[in-house]
Chain A
Amino acid sequence: MISVVQLTKCYGAQTAVAGLSFEIPAGQIVGFLGPNGAGKSTTLKMLTGMIEPTSGSATISGFDLQRDLLEVKRHVGFVPESGAVFESLTGLEYLEMVAALYGIPPNAARARIKQFIAFFDLSFETLTDKLLGAYSKGMRRKVVITSALLHNPPVVFFDEPLDGLDANAAVGFKALIQMLAREGKTIVYSSHILDVVERVCHRVIIIDKGKLLLDGKPDELVAAHNSGTLERLFTNLTGGAELERRAEDFAKTFRP
């Protein structure tokens, strides 16, 4: 469903993503991990057609990223980390606008939006009366997730989707993506909350400095590296363990 071959992105002399290659079949949830600045968001933005790769290729649902860009965009949903929305639209106006961009007829869009409102326990008055700028972070995130799934895409990219969601909504969301994967959707899930990734994802891809470090099933990787948890494996690979040691010394500087 997703095939990435030697995908590279350079900014001048700086390489953000360096020859990344992987394949993700339909129905799989893949945790896409890496420390800050590893190139995760750049990779997701390339795969959703938001920025152009410097070299390499990718196909999504059989469509080539460079030749069939609009088709790729029709077949993906994306929840960006920023959770950006047009703040001066109401939630309903925003979702209807997004639906129209995917060519969903207004009545069908309304019916679909109703389903999302019910699922996310969104208040109807809020959706129609309040501008998105006045929404809480969690409510805004729900709207962004809705806007990514409204057109029923076969491939969905989530970048820190749980950011701002309360515990109940997060549980509901995790159940939702697991069910979506069972329905055959391909899900790429980028997050720093590693215990969630460990529980939800079928497979993890860890990158650092734009390069692939590890790719495999979470339990198998943890066992192979004898690290106990995915979090420990991740910190060992990306230098987090050293930071943990330094934290102890640094905390001493706060003593009065």
Chain B
Amino acid sequence: MNEIALPPILPEAVPSSEKVLRQLFLTLFLRGRSGRSLKIQTAPKSVGTKLTLSLFFYALLGCMALGFGHQPVFALAAYLHALTFAFLGMFVASSAGEVLFNKEEADILLHRPIRPKTMLWAKIRVLVEVSLWLALAFNLVGFFVGFHSAGWRFPIVHLFSTTLEALFCTGSVVLMYQLCLRWFGRERLDGLMTMAQVFVAIAAVLSGQILPRVLFRVGHVFSLSETSWWIGLLPPAWFAGLDDALAGDALFASWILAAIALIVTSLILWLAFGKLAQDYEIGLQSLNETVSTRVTKTGGRHRWLDKLVNVPPLRWWLRDPVSRASFLLVAAYLVRDRDVKLRIYPGLAPMLVVPFVFLLQGYGQHNSSIGGGFGIPFSGAYLGLVPLLGLQLLQYSQQWQAADVFRAAPMVGPAALCHGARRAVLCLLALPMMLLVGLIVWFLQGDAGQLLLLIPGLIALPIFALVPALRGRGVPLSVPTDAAKSAGRGLSMIPVLFFAFALAGAASFSWTHGGFWRFVLGEAVVAVILYVVLRAMINQARWPEAD
């Protein structure tokens, strides 16, 4: 036998299972779970760069706390906790599925001598640890602002309350999983867990987005003493109350909020990691079971999709068999796949919140240039982000290797696949959301005529939907999920956001100063030209080089 020299190791000591698992899950989280073609020398570097970029991005967002320099502690803390809550909620809800219940992991770890509780704790610690990195990056500027305005106690208390908030977010998602298991049984676990996670993520985003805006809006209230009882319904307010109680005005109301934060977090942790931890093993086992009793239901869904594509106008729109197949594939994943649903729906939730907030600002102000006048076209144009983000997120899949079948098929490029995916996203995501915004506008403005302001956004929608497929990219379900963690994806939305502002501004101006229909006609002409050019570019694109 040849003598083989392996790298040196530290002195003899058997690490505990929990430590080994914690290291394992942290490594897997940072490197991602699919490492095809990667080398150890390059993998950590690329992960490090991505993580640094993400943390930098979060820290940059945290600079908005500078605007709270002269506000009461509760306002600063509420702002920081609300956005931290949104970020952490999104992060935990979207990561927890892969971290807590990974199907492949069952084959690797379930037959090893490890207690499920040990595995659960190791995963939770990793989730909380990474959540805290993100939270600390975002709160970095807030610590200094709080130190400057409220003294040395604020950073210490805020660090404690942020850690508590991270535990609350993680515990809530885990608890949601376990309650689904307990109440609905293992057969329906996968679907229900997905739904629960999506709701937690959406709730986190809504709660995180709404609180600071409410604090700004309702009579410009910044002090806890002036807020209403309902503030206690918003979890970020509990943690802000903790900051205010220990480092701020210490009002009675803030002590109550602080008590709620401590009691609810303790209760959730006790339930999730103590009382119901045994259910975690059942959950892992159920993912490992190959037999399903849900044949009828899935079959029903499949028939529903088949019927949908056979009804005009979709039947005419999907004449090309490849586009039709791609449409069905994307539609099936949007309805059935846990991983895709967890990325798409929480990712799109803020798309609804932002226009909603703009519309609320103009509530009751007919033809107001601030709200109705700008808010409605902005809402329409902002929804252009839906197909853009939706198609970008649909590229990622845990089964990305299965997309090799596309390259193996006799097609010169991915155009037909991209067209099918685009149509699925437009039909199943963008148009329903546009309808919803239309209903909200109608409800809030009470004037159907205002709905015309959505037309500029509607015209821009197909153009936005073409962008992800340029240069042969945007093939559905073809990219490993680890790439979805890149911070660059969020940055690519910024130009679109500016475009939405510009379009809404122009539409609003032409609406109030006359010439709205001329503007719409001009936009339509430009949109048609752009559509033809972009479509031709997509049709000519060849397969990008495989990684």
Contacts and interface: CB of A to CB of B under 8 A. Distances in A.
Contacts of A171: none
A80 interface: yes
A88 B14 contact: no
Interface stretch (B283-291, B501-509, B523-531): B283-291
B6 A128 contact: yes
Contact of B285 (A16, A52, A133): A52
B115 interface: yes
A49 B111 contact: yes
Interface in A93-150: 93, 97-98, 100-107, 110, 113-115, 117-118, 124, 128-134
A102 B112 CA distance: 7
Nearest to A10: B291
Interface in B22-60: 23-24, 27-28, 31-41, 43
Contacts of A98: 112
B228 interface: no
Contacts of A49: 110-111
A93 B292 CA distance: 35
Q: Taking chain B's interface residues, is the majority helix, strand, or loop, or is none over half, making it mixed?
A: loop
B9 A106 contact: yes
B14 A103 contact: yes
A13 interface: yes
A88 B4 CA distance: 23
A106 B10 contact: yes
Contacts, number: 147
B13 interface: yes
Interface stretch (B101-109, B376-384, B449-457): B101-109
Contact of A88 (B12, B38, B110): B38
B13 A105 contact: yes
B111 A48 contact: yes
Interface string A1-32: 00000000001111010000000000000000
A209 interface: no
A130 B111 CA distance: 26
Contact of A41 (B2, B15, B290): B290
B299 interface: no
Given A78-B111, A101-B17, A134 B292 contact: no
A199 to B, nearest CB: 27
B399 to A, nearest CB: 14
A134 B111 contact: no
Contacts of B10: 106
A131 B108 contact: no
A90 B28 CA distance: 11
Nearest to B186: A11
Contacts of A104: 14
A132 to B, nearest CB: 6
Nearest to B6: A110
A13 B288 CA distance: 18
A93 B9 CA distance: 12
B1 interface: yes
Interface string A81-92: 010111111101
Contacts of A128: 6-7, 40
B114 interface: yes
A50 B39 CA distance: 32
Contact of B40 (A14, A100, A130): A130
A214 interface: no
A204 interface: no
B187 interface: yes
B33 A105 contact: no
A115 B2 CA distance: 9
B117 to A, nearest CB: 12
A113 B6 contact: yes
A74 B17 CA distance: 13
B288 A133 contact: no
Nearest to B25: A86
Nearest to B15: A100
B32 A73 contact: no
Contacts of A16: 291
Contacts of A51: 285, 288-289
A188 B290 CA distance: 21
B493 interface: no
A192 interface: no
B288 A11 contact: no
B219 interface: no
Contacts of A100: 14-15, 17, 20
Interface of B: 1-2, 4-7, 9-10, 12-15, 17, 20-21, 23-24, 27-28, 31-41, 43, 104-115, 187, 282, 285, 288-293
Given A50-B288, A87-B34, 4 more contacts: A51-B285, A80-B111, A84-B105, A105-B14
Lowest 7 A-B CB distances belong to which pairs? A133-B35, A131-B35, A12-B293, A88-B35, A88-B31, A48-B111, A133-B36
19 contacts: A11-B293, A42-B290, A74-B113, A76-B111, A80-B108, A88-B32, A88-B33, A88-B35, A88-B43, A89-B28, A89-B31, A101-B17, A101-B21, A101-B109, A104-B14, A105-B14, A117-B4, A124-B4, A131-B39
